[in-house]
Amino acid sequence: MKTVLLVAGRGSRLFPFDHGRSKHMIPVAGRPLLEQSIIALKDAGIRDILLVVGYKSEVLRAYFKDGAIHSLNIKYVDQDFTKGKGTGYAASLARDFVGGDPFLLVNGDLQYEAGTIKDMLKEWQMGEADLLLAISHVEDPSEYGVVEIDAKGFASRIIEKPKPGQSPSKLTNAGIYICKPLLFDAIARTRPNARGGIDITDSIQILIDENRRVKSFDMGAAWWCDIGRAHDLLDANQHYFAKMRKLLRGKIESNVKIKGEVYIGARTIVRSGTYIEGPVYVGEDCEIGPNAYIRPNTYIGDRCRIGNACEVKGSIIMGGTKISHLSYVGDSVIGENVNLGAATIAANLRLDHKEISLRENGHLIPTGLRKLGVLCGDNVSVGSNSNLEPGVRVGANSIIGPNVTVSEDIEPDTMVYIKWRDLKDFYVKKKIERNEGMEKK
C-alpha cells in the first residue's frame, strides 16, 4: 500500500530545537526521527512512500534521496505555505501519487511500531471501512483530537483539542489513517480554520456527517509517541534503545567498564576509568573520559567530547557538543555544537520532587515528568560553574556567562551574565549583536 508522510512543518512547539533545523531530522537512538518512522513502515511491508515536504526540504531530500539506503521507493512533493496550510491541505498534495487506490496517511510528528501498521492493514482488509482511524487512550486528551465512537466502533464525532476537563472521552486521534481517495473530495469541501489552514480532522468529520464508514482502530497498549514538545524526544529515545545491540568499533583503553548493550562508533576513544552502562549510543570521532560515567538511555552524537569526571544520564547529546570536566547532565536534550564549561550542572529534579512544567505564553504546560533537565538549542556556550535548573529551555546561539544559575527560559541569540555592582550580583540579559562582535556589552 502506498504511504504518505506529512513532514512539511517546522515544529514551533519544539522550542528550542525549531531554530534553523527540521524537527524530523532530530536524532534519537542513533537515527533521525523520520528515519525511525520509515524503518517501521518498511518492517510493516511498505515500499512506496511520498514525503510531503516544506521547511528545510533540501535536508530531507539530501538524506533520504530516492530511498535506496533502505531499499524503498521514496518520492517528494513540496508544500507551498503561501497556497495552503494545515494537515488537510498537505494530504491533498498526494492525490496524483495515490491515484485511485486506498493509501496509508501518517502525521510526520509520530513515532510508532511496525506491528501497529501491520495490524491496521489487516483490519483494512476486512473491507468494513471507507476510512480507518487509529485511536489511543490518553489521560489528558486536550492536546489531541478526541474521537467519539458508537457501539460498533465507528466514529461519530471528532473534537480537535477540547479544553481541559471538557473532553467527552479519553480516546484520541493518533494521526494514522488508511483512506480511500474519497478523502480528497472531502478536503476540497473543508472550510479553513481560524488560522487559515485546513485540518484533516475537519475533512474526516465531513465524511462522518455524510454517513461514510469511518471506523476506529484501537491501538490498545501499542507504543506510539507524538513528538509535540522537546521532552517527548526522550521518550522516543528510550523506546528505540530497547532494540540496541552491543557493537564496539572505537578504541577502548584499559580499565574501562562497559555493561549492557552499548554502541561505540568508529574512531571514538573511551579513556581509562570510564564506566558506560547501556543501553548507550556513542557516535563516531568522539572522546569520552577519562573517568566519565555514561548512564542508560544516553545518545551521544558524532564528534562529541565528554570530559574528565563527567556524568551523563538518560540524555540526547547532539553532534559536535563538548561537555567539560566535572559536569553533570541529567535527562536533558542538548543541541549541536554546544559547549558546556567546566562544572556545569544540568539539574533534573526539583527540590520538592514535584512534576516539572514548561512555561509557554504565560501558562504552565505539565510534562508528566518528575525528572527533566535542560532543553538546550544549537550553538550555545555556557560558562564554568553554571547551573541550569530543571526544565529550562535555552534558545540557539545564546551565551551564558560563568557562575550563572538559569531558572527561566532563554530566547535565541541572548547573552546572560552576572554584572557586579556595589558587591551585589544580578542577571543581565541582552540580544547578541553579532555584527559588532562580542565585546560590546
Q: Which string of DSSP letters, residue by residue, matches 352-410?
A: T-PPEEEEETTEEEEEEESB---EE-TT-EE-TT-EE-TT-EE-TT-EE-TT-EE-S-B
Those residues whose C-beta lies under 8 Å from the C-beta of residue 354, and which sit 6 or more positions away, are 370
Question: DSSP alpha helices (H): ranges in 247-341?
Answer: none
For helices 114-124 and 33-43, angle between their N-to-C axes, nearest 10 degrees: 50
How far is CA 422 from its chain centroid?
45
CA distances from 246 to 134, 277, 282, 318 (A): 34, 11, 11, 20
Contact yes or no for 315/330 (Cβ under 8 A): yes
Those residues whose C-beta lies under 8 Å from the C-beta of residue 106, and which sit 6 or more positions away, are 3, 4, 5, 6, 37, 41, 112, 175, 176, 177
**Does the annotation mark 325 as catalytic?**
yes
From the list 19, 70, 325, 353, the catalytic residue is 325
Query: Which run of H or of E encompasses 6?
Result: strand 3-7
Residue at 122: amino acid letter:
K
Scan for cell 531554530, then name that residue. Answer: 19
Query: Which run of H or of E encompasses 64?
Result: helix 57-64
Contact yes or no for 281/241 (Cβ under 8 A): yes
How far is CA 280 from its chain centroid?
18
Residue at 258: amino acid letter:
I
Contact yes or no for 404/418 (Cβ under 8 A): yes
- Rounded-to-integer distance, Cα 380 and Cα 378, Å: 6
Give catalytic residues, as residue numbers: 325
